[in-house]
Structure 1
């Protein structure tokens, strides 16, 4: 059972939130953001759900203050608001929020989002120590080899990536060595993946990547508030806190940011080329599998045809044998010649019908073998 803090100045909404969550979680409810901030920094909570529009301090500002404190840096925050536009979601993302719930809320959606955020945060806590070690190693390496070394290291790492997920992680680690957090989306033949440095992208990150993907593909760099979006077709990257233009920045900082953008563009080119290679390898594997299936089908059709021919000969033989037995039996039954002719004609008619059906089956087999042969010819290199 998780310990959840709710903050909303609307009494009815607060009561509805509490009633929805208290069956599964321990819930603490307050009516303003100041009280929420005090509790979040003094008591252990697993999740904070903040109304965006509250008197005094807004939910966004409250979240920023929670995240700025050491004891609240890893505490997940969800926002609740009637405003759902891109600007609002960007504000929530910039403030450090994990997800966004619209008013009026749906109880099932609320419970599902809470479960997802709690599970995601649990995984983050498990990986936090390992992530810190990787961060320290990556930053130390970046200091040694410099910015160009980061790009070269990524190219070497990307060349050994056999899956889109491995490539995405290598790209994110390279961006992280420049000192920025990011989320990425790779659209390969096998699947489309969206992730950050810790695992699958959050709901808010996925929505921002959706927005970037729907943007003008002819423009590769996109300013999204104080963040940067890189659109390289099948490779999309959203970098937090990387401005495309900052006139007020000092010259040295502006030059550094410019170099980072250029280097990330090189990373994107390398990632796109490697993704194309991964897709090509997958296409070759798919073609090889299809070729084997066609070969198996061709062999199966040949076997069916052989059995069909043997069956037709067996049926003809049985019919001849039946005729012979009938003629022998006529001597014992004492039938008239008219009756004998009628029986013989009846047997002959059924024999011809059975043989006609078998002939149709052979014609179908021949047609299927022809199609199989054409497929084999098309699949030959």
Structure 2
């Protein structure tokens, strides 16, 4: 077959896909083996802004995508230069189709399209005649600007999150470094304080047992009587799984033993009071303080660490109860002292009130006596028949005495004012 016949047959084959190209909403164009446009559908016009009339028959299809002439993906496929096509796009943006053999797909940003450019996803595949001749290539275009913008926003958000994670990771690493330093310092401190501090730390690390102790101390604060306090101690021992008894001996009060009503327990406690602070014999243990004693009868055996924690906790329990008993005793003494002071103030207030009344009465009596003496002197002068000189001397003597008496009364008036003020102030305490 001649080249002219082959050309006519190729054009005929390409014309046969007209209905397919024009009927799809996807932007599609076709070029022949000479790189001339044979089909340019309506969707392609909308994407590129170029009418089909100006494109069909030309080789200027590059104008729809680039500002200067250059091959597009369909050109590379027709020319068999797919390796050059792969090099023209960013890494990973052009690859072989997983569906159509010989087809390739790519994506890219085209600044000349639309307002500010757009992203296109495009595929190109070769077109063959029934006898295997290459007729040309078909290429489809999809506007993926919205998706790419979403991807870019997502990437920006991802980068921001990654930055925040990096910052947070750096902060956590810094905190971790600080915690490691603190832990190292703590370990060094624990090594210095020795076995006693290790035992105390082991007791503190047992949250359940420490919780019992803290709950008991709260109960101590709410206990107003020795009997109530003894009950709190016995409840705490039960929560530790311990059996035994407790006796409290408040200063100036009556001893209370729980469980009550067991004479042999009373005798045991009388004997225990003469023993040391802490006595341990097999499963029995005694804890003694001046106002409280504990007797335990079932310490755990074969559990040295737990038994050690229990001994520490029970000792702390007894010590806290002892402190609360002393506080109750001090409170009782304080209340008694306040009552005594209040009674004494009442007596002093009454006594000062009586003194105040007597002082007022004495001042009134003195004024009356002076007035009466003045009247008597006037009458006496009439009957005595004294000379003028004698009367003058007698008047001078009397006047000196009255002046001294008035001065004494003035001092008593000042004392009376002070006494009255003290009486008023004491009255405010009533």
User: Shorter-chain-normalised TM-score: which range?
Assistant: 0.3 to 0.5
What TM-score do you get using the length of structure 1 for normalisation? 0.37
What TM-score do you get using the length of structure 2 for normalisation? 0.33
Q: Which has the higher contact order (CA 8 A, sep 6+)?
A: 1
